Amino acid sequence: MKTQLLIIGSGVAGLTLAVKYAEMFPLKNITIVTKGDEDESNTKYAQGGVAVVLDEETDSFEKHIQDTLIAGDGLCDIDVVNMVITEGPKRLKELMAWGAQFDMDQTGNLDLGKEGGHSQFRVVHHKDITGYEIERALLARVHQLKNISLLPHHFAIDLITEHQLKQVSENISCYGAYVLNQKTGKILTLQSNCTVLAAGGIGKVYGHTTNPAIATGDGIAMAYRAKARIKDMEFVQFHPTAL
């Protein structure tokens, strides 16, 4: 099986990439594989909301950046912080254009909350199931786009790189992935011009976690076996409700 773009994972990262690529290149085909149900990801379980600067009278990008740097305690990449915060309003508008619905206040404007670490009211939410709503909207948009194929219950076993093809090269390339169809037991060879790992984190390898059962670090393990450099593995969120 061949595809132009192979995405491993069906959370907010993988689905957003699939939608944007499919809209930009309607003649190219995209394949998403995910080892559980199509909506089973950490995204679905995220509750709080999305922090976005919307009220320019009381808030600003500079204030949001400063709040983030303080919370990051010197560990933030300032370029990434700037990018995420300044592009936030655009990304929110995209989500809403794709069908995501967020709570409104009595005046008909987005209801902005104020959460830990934030000095201003800037958190957009959908009740207390914001992640669930974003996942729902993204999946609905994915199913509208004819050039996206979504394969649930397909477990990505490993990336296809030089060491599987018995080639020797200093520049390691990826040619796709071997994928197990968990319902038939058959292993598929998915060849792709580009392969993206969006398979989530490692929360479930710990005894106490709010992450779902699928968060076992498969994508990170595949990247490691393909000789990718792995960093920042110590940054795992342990939510107090799991302790």
Same domain, 69 and 181: no
Written as six digits, the tokens of 226 are 């393909």
Distance CA 129, CA 134 (A): 9
The answer to whether residue 203 is domain-embedded is: yes
Which of 63-72, 100-109, 119-128, 201-210 is the least confident region? 201-210
Read off the pTM. 0.92
Same domain, 237 and 157: yes
Full residue range of the structural domain in which residue 71 is found: 48-127
With 70 as the cut, is the pLDDT of residue 168 above it?
Answer: no
Distance CA 177, CA 6 (A): 8
The 10 Å CB-count burial string (b at 16+, else e) for 198-218 is bbbbbbbeeeebbbbebbbbb
Same domain, 190 and 218: yes
The residue among 120, 58, 50 whose CA lies nearest residue 89 is: 50
Q: What is the pLDDT of residue 152?
A: 98
State the pLDDT confidence band at 172, using cuts at 50, 70 and 90: confident
